[in-house]
Structure 1
Amino acid sequence: MDLEAVRTFVAAAGAGQFQEAAAELAVTQQAVSKRIAALERTLGVRLFTRTPRGAELTIDGQAFLPHARELLRVAERAVESVRPGSRPLRVDVLASRSAASGLMRRFHRAHPEIELDVVTLFDIETATAAIRSGAIDASFRAVAAPGRPLPEDIESVWVLDEPLQLLTGPAHALVGARSVTLSQLAGHRIWMPGVVPGTEWAAYYDDLVAEFGVTIEATGPNFGSDALLDTIADTPALATFMGGNTRLVWPADHGLRRIPVTDPTPVYPHSLLWHRDNPHPALPILRAHLAATPDTTGTWAPDWALRRTASIKD
């Protein structure tokens, strides 16, 4: 059924005259007559009777009018459901306790009027596929790992360098250090069961190992952050890396300690990814909020990490 014809019928029924309906719709009276005639052919009934005073609804026209109005309301709701800005801005963060999650919390505090939907996807391939399909509007990732360039329609911009810290238990040999250098970590066992081969964070730690000779073990099942913290607290021979902006809470009797890593400070580069044709009006606001100028002095990141300032485009 032609919605324009239905819209014309409703306008004519309200005006009582085809000429007034034509003026309301900014079309000719002839166009109104043709649309009404086409709708009557579709329905197989007469909708109007011409009178000296204008056009009056027939009994079939009166029966059809409330349904015609509902058709137009449903059509408007359908259009509104996909209109840019009418739905939440959907952003992927790797984990709820990650630095990216903290960035989104600060964005929400700065712009409470913007409705958000925060999701967690596993790897960069899943995230870029979701961006390209429109399932999400943006994603926080480390890009681009060797041999895996981003698709040409995906834009990215650096937003944060997160310094790594060493996390030790109370009996670890380095627990009393104010800071440690990467060279001092040689010979110490860094346990990170969450490092999954093929992910962007695995590529990052592979380069860190190759550059500085540290030992990272990814053995054993990954039971999550709570189990990791329990093991580090109870095992003097193990330590782990964690992001300086990562929010973790552990029991006070664990005696865990975060120790800054220096000379240089390894930083994990977070970038924001989005589709270049994404029309969501909140996306430029998010990008402007995250805009930053990187200070790479005394830091280390892999050569493939994209660390450039934002160029905000409307």
Structure 2
Amino acid sequence: MDTEAMRSFVRAAELGQLQHAADELGVTQQAVSKRIAALERELEVRLFTRTARGVELTLDGQAFLPHARSVVAGVDRAVTAVKPGSRALRIDVLGLRSAQAVVLHDYWRSHPETNLDVVTLRVNDPHLAAAAVQAGDIDASFRAVTDPATLPRDVRMIHAFDSPLELLVGPRHPLASARTLTPPRLRKLRIWVPGIVPRSEWAEFYDQLATAFDLRIDATGPNFGNEVLLDALADSADVATLVGSRDRYLWPTNYDLRRIPIVNPTLAYPLSLMLPRTNPHPGLQAIINHFASLTPLPETAWLPSWATTPRRSAAPREPASK
């Protein structure tokens, strides 16, 4: 089986567009298409369906992806074993517009000599990401398990940084004109976070957040992506969502969406990094050191109980009278 065809398939799956995969691999889009078509003929299945935004994996493609990724990683390790020089530092992030990717991009802009490969594993179970770290497919992953005792023995988890939350609303929302908000003012709002995966770290986070501040977190409906969510917010007078202050969201100017910081206490999502317990990639420590330079949370902050951070969660507080 052609490993370059498998590599083209893996990068197209991770990036969601054949052209982006071609650009990264240094070939034409036609070459990537031909490689994937040959792979589909050999497997006798369809791996992708085309959409207006690029390509999406079929069910067969989803089943094939982890095995193809393992084969490609194995080939890379074999080449690295006999090739002079060091390989790129490969870090898994939840999304290329996430706070993790933004912080890594900021680091790379200051250190452009860093050989960095930012990937998205597209797995919901953090234990699968831990297994990828254990296997050496990636060097680190911005995932967390709420019970570190369930990690593989040779994988550890450290606190990376905290991501303060903001309320994102459309211009007709009752809170659209607020400069800041306290958590009690979010009660009874419909805070729509579609696609929360049961037993994931973020499911546990939202469960604890809703309990601590009596919030209505609505996870109904499938997750059709950020664009659909932003469309809904722009058209609605009552729907809101929560986003990280460093998360990168883009929307048309006429949407006029508002990002409103939450304070007293600041609500924060703790971001953790899983990495090998021994012999981590030599380039990883400089990035870990960079996390320490990020703006810390204010003293009054709320974090979930499983956060690996020295701060303690602040008790819910009523807003001051105006």
**The two structures share one fold, judged by TM-score above 0.5:** yes
Equivalent residue pairs, number: 232
Q: Which amino acid aligns with 1:198?
A: R
Q: For residue 176 of structure 1, what is the aligned residue in structure 2?
A: 177
Q: For residue 91 of structure 1, what is the aligned residue in structure 2?
A: 91
Q: For residue 132 of structure 1, what is the aligned residue in structure 2?
A: 134
CA pair 84-259 structure 1, distance change in 2 beyond 3 A: farther
Q: 1:66-124 CA deviation, whole Å, 9 max, x = no partner?
A: xxxxxxxxxxx967546796211110011000010011112212322221111112331
What's the secondary structure of 1:262's corresponding residue? coil
The Cα of 1:251 is off from its aligned counterpart by 0.7
Q: For residue 72 of structure 1, what is the aligned residue in structure 2?
A: none
Q: 1:43-71 CA deviation, whole Å, 9 max, x = no partner?
A: xxxxxxxxxxxxxxxxxxxxxxxxxxxxx
Q: Give the conservation status (yes or no) of the 8 Å contact 2:148–2:157.
A: no
Q: For residue 216 of structure 2, what is the aligned residue in structure 1?
A: 215
What's the secondary structure of 1:97's corresponding residue? coil
Q: Does 1:230 align with 2:234?
A: no
Structure 2 Cα separation of the partners of residues 86 and 138 of structure 1: 16
Q: For residue 286 of structure 1, what is the aligned residue in structure 2?
A: 287
| 1:260-299 equivalence runs, <5 A | 260-292=261-293, 294-295=296-297, 297-299=299-301
Q: For residue 163 of structure 1, what is the aligned residue in structure 2?
A: 164
Structure 1 Cα separation of the partners of residues 235 and 283 of structure 2: 46
Q: Larger Cα Rg: Structure 1 or Structure 2?
A: 1
| 1:135-154 equivalence runs, <5 A | 135-141=137-143, 143-146=144-147, 149-154=150-155
Q: Which amino acid aligns with 2:151?
A: L
What's the secondary structure of 1:184's corresponding residue? helix
Q: Which amino acid aligns with 2:129?
A: A
Q: Give the conservation status (yes or no) of the 8 Å contact 2:266–2:298.
A: no
Q: Give the conservation status (yes or no) of the 8 Å contact 1:177–1:259.
A: yes
Q: Which amino acid aligns with 2:113?
A: E
TM-score (norm 2): 0.67
The Cα of 1:184 is off from its aligned counterpart by 0.9
Q: 1:6-59 CA deviation, whole Å, 9 max, x = no partner?
A: xxxxxxxxxxxxxxxxxxxxxxxxxxxxxxxxxxxxxxxxxxxxxxxxxxxxxx
Structure 1 Cα separation of the partners of residues 90 and 213 of structure 2: 38
Structure 2 Cα separation of the partners of residues 82 and 277 of structure 1: 22
The Cα of 1:285 is off from its aligned counterpart by 2.4
Structure 2 Cα separation of the partners of residues 85 and 206 of structure 1: 46
Q: For residue 116 of structure 2, what is the aligned residue in structure 1?
A: 116
Q: Which amino acid aligns with 2:256?
A: G
**Structure 2 unmatched runs, 5+:** 1-76, 312-322
Q: Give the conservation status (yes or no) of the 8 Å contact 1:163–1:268.
A: yes
Q: Which amino acid aligns with 1:306?
A: T
Structure 2 Cα separation of the partners of residues 81 and 258 of structure 1: 48
What's the secondary structure of 2:278's corresponding residue? coil
Q: Does 1:103 align with 2:71?
A: no
Q: Which amino acid aligns with 1:114?
A: T
Q: Give the conservation status (yes or no) of the 8 Å contact 1:84–1:280.
A: no
Structure 1 Cα separation of the partners of residues 79 and 223 of structure 2: 45
Q: Which amino acid aligns with 2:104?
A: M
Of stretches 267-276 and 149-158 in structure 1, the one that deviates more from structure 2 is 149-158
Q: 1:188-242 CA deviation, whole Å, 9 max, x = no partner?
A: 1101103221211111011000111000101112110000000011111211111
Q: Give the conservation status (yes or no) of the 8 Å contact 1:90–1:117.
A: yes
Q: Which amino acid aligns with 1:120?
A: T
What's the secondary structure of 2:86's corresponding residue? coil
Q: Give the conservation status (yes or no) of the 8 Å contact 2:161–2:271.
A: yes
CA pair 268-80 structure 1, distance change in 2 beyond 3 A: closer
What's the secondary structure of 2:220's corresponding residue? coil
Q: Give the conservation status (yes or no) of the 8 Å contact 1:158–1:308.
A: no
Percent of aligned pairs sharing the same letter: 47
Q: Which amino acid aligns with 2:223?
A: N
Q: Which amino acid aligns with 1:301?
A: L
Q: Give the conservation status (yes or no) of the 8 Å contact 1:186–1:215.
A: yes
Q: Give the conservation status (yes or no) of the 8 Å contact 2:131–2:152.
A: no
Structure 1 Cα separation of the partners of residues 239 and 153 of structure 2: 42
The Cα of 1:159 is off from its aligned counterpart by 2.2
TM-score (norm 1): 0.68
